[in-house]
Each structure stands twice: as structure tokens, then as C-alpha cells.
Amino acid sequence: MTTQPTVQHLVPAPRHRVSRLRRAVRSWQLYVLLTPAVLHVLLFKYWPMYGAQIAFRNYNPADGFFGSPWVGLDHFQRFIESFQFERLIANTLSLNALGLLLAFPVPIVLALVVNQLQNERFKKFTQTVLYSPSFISVVVVVGMIHLLFSPRSGIVNNAIETFGGEPVFFMGSPEWFRPLYIGSDIWQNAGFSMIVYLAALTAIDPSLHEAARVDGANKWQRIRHIDIPGILPVITILFILAIGNLFNLGFEKVLLMQTDLNLPTSEVIQTYVYKAGLQQAQFSYSAAIGLFNSLINLTLLLTFNWVARRANQSSLW
């Protein structure tokens, strides 16, 4: 008699063709666990998505998201025709494309090199040092740039003057904005991104390396013929993701690094959205610009995913 309930529980439900609804009701506690997170995405992700339609309306607070008058593509048209348009697109694209091009390979190289280290303690130490800057806040990193590259007291200008050069006002020069942004980005994030590649490298079958070593392959050859092919799928996927974020990268940091003087290169789409929208309260106009930006992102992501899938079978989906 005592074994009867046991059997019922051990054998999964479909024996009696329990209806889906009953099954769902029976595990109501799981839905309770799920509730906070679902509420969160509904409130803070889906509601704003729905609210993004103000890009096609003339938003006024009294009428809210739905009541405001419909104006179609007026805001988009205004943005495309505005004198800002070309500069914003050019700045956004060149900052992010350059950043991607220069910053993307660095963690891969670091991972390949660190992976070859024999001494476990040195390996661990190196890893820790390399990823430690990623725990520093963007505010502090930008503050450090301001201090270290300051025209009066910055150590960089001190060094330049020591070697007989003229001090440079780095944060006030449009031409220095991109190097500083990309350089500090590599400084801060390369070590952390390296971890993913290191993980992929440890997943490579060690017997491949053994065999190669027996056959006399040196480290360069093993990296080229074993390590790189081994992590290529990971590289591809991360590259696609980075492309999908091409118009999205590090906007908070751009905002922090902006000075009145470097605006010619540092004004990007998203900082413009922030200023036009939140500082000047042109809600609908800036929402339209933001939507325009997201559409470009999504298009890039889908395109590159498609290309990658055709090229070497590793893609996001």
C-alpha cells in the first residue's frame, strides 16, 4: 500500500494524459517564482517598447503614449533633413567601427599568449591584473583620463614636456577624442573579454596539442593550426554580437568624455538623443532618432548573422 503513491510520482504525468492546464496549475509555485522577473520585463522593457510609438506621434504628457496626435514619419524626416544628421551618423559609425576593428583582436591575442604560459601562478597573476580594470567604473576611468591627460598637471603632458614636446590639450581636441576613447576602452575591457576566449581555449582537446608537439610543431604553429581554428566559432559569435551593437557601444562613456571642445567628433546619435530628449524635452523627436538607431542595429545584426551562417556555419541561431 505504501508503494502506491511512489509509483504514481515516479512515472511522469502523461500516463493519464493530464491536461496541460492541470499540469500548469499543479506547478503554480514555479509561476510564482517566475513572476517578479516577468513583471520586470513587462514594465521596464515591453511597456517602453510599446511607448516607442511616440516616435510617430507628437507626445504631450497630458495625452500620454496613446492619446497624443499621430504624425507618421514627420520626426524621422526632420532628423534626416537636419544639419546634424550626417555628422551624427559619421561620428557614430567611425567611432564604433574603428573601436571594433582595433579593440576586437586584442583580447584574442592576449588569450592566445596567456594560454601558452606554463607557470600556473604567473598565469593566474597575469589574468587577474589584466581583467582588474573592468571592475573600475566608467566614471572613474574617464576621470582618470581627465587627470592623466590634463594639459596643466597631467603625467602624460609632463612626459611630453620632459622629452621636449609641446603639451597637448587632449580632452579639448576633437582629433584626440577617438584615440582616447578607443585606447581607454582597450585598457579597461580587453582583459575581461580575454576570459571568454581563454575558456574556449581550455575546451580544446589537449591531445591535439600533445600530438602536434610529438610531431615537432612549435608554439607558433600550434597557435595557428590548433588554437585559432579551435576558437573560431566563439570569435565569430562574439563578432556578430559586436556588430549588432555597432551603434550602441559605450554611449555612457562617450557622454562622460564629451567636452564642449571635442563635440565635432564626440557627438554620436545616442548622446544627441539624450540631449534633445531629456535635456530639451523633445520627447517624440529624440525617440524617433533612437528608434532609427535601433533599427540600424537590428539590421546590422541580422545581416552579419546571415553572412556568418553562410560563411562558416557558426551563427547566433
Partner 1 sequence: MTQLTRAQETPLSTTRSPNRRPRRPSVRTGVPSGGPWHGRLADPLFNIVAIGLLGLAIVAIVYPLYFIVIASVSEPAEILNGNVWLVPQGFTVEGYGRIFSDPDILRGFANSVLYTLVGTAISVASILCAAYALSRKDLYGRTFFMLLFILTMFIDGGLIARYLVVRDMGMLNTMWAVVLPGAIGVWNLIIARAFFENNVPGELRDAAQLDGANDFRFFLRIVLPLSKPLIFLMIMIHLVANWNAFFDALIFLDDESKYPLQLVLRNVLIQSEVTAAGGSGALDSYAAAQRIGELIKYGMIVVSSIPLLIIMPFMQKHFTKGALLGAVKN
Residues 131-190 within binding reach of partner 1 (CB under 8 A): 132-133, 135-140, 142-144, 146-148, 150-153, 155, 158-159, 161-162, 169, 171-172, 187
Sequence-ordered list of residues with C-beta below 8 angstroms from that of 191, at least 6 positions apart, any chain: 107, 110, 127, 129, 130, 131, 132, 133, 134
Rounded CA-CA distance 76/209 in Å is 56
* 49-68 binders of partner 1 (CB under 8 A): 49-52, 54-55, 59, 64-65
**Of residues 1, 2, 9, 72, which one binds partner 1 by CB under 8 A?**
9
State which of residues 46, 90, 264, 299 lies at the interface with partner 1 (CB under 8 A): 46
Q: Which three cell numbers stand for residue 313?
A: 556555419
Report the alpha-carbon distance of residue 162 to residue 148 in Å, rounded: 15
Give Cα separations from 308 to 103, 224, 225, 286, 303 (angstroms): 20, 21, 21, 33, 9
- Distinct helix (H) and strand (E) counts, the chain: 19, 0
Q: Which stretch binds partner 1 (CB under 8 A): 69-77, 80-88, 90-98, 127-135?
A: 127-135
Tell me how far apart the alpha carbons of residues 263 and 255 are, in angstroms, rounded to a whole number.
Answer: 10
Q: Minimum distance between the CB of residue 283 and partner 1, rounded to whole angstroms? A: 5
Q: Which stretch binds partner 1 (CB under 8 A): 47-55, 77-85, 92-100, 306-314?
A: 47-55
Distance of CA 69 to the CA centre of its chain: 35
Least spacing, CB of residue 93 vs partner 1, in Å: 19
C-alpha cell, 99: 573601436
- Which of residues 98 and 255 has its CB atom nearest to partner 1 in the complex? 255
Which of 58, 84, 173, 259 is close enough to bind partner 1 by CB under 8 A?
259
Residue 107 binds partner 1, judged by CB under 8 A:
no
Binding residues for partner 1, rule CB under 8 A, total: 112
Name the segment binding partner 1 (CB under 8 A); options: 72-80, 82-90, 97-105, 274-282.
274-282
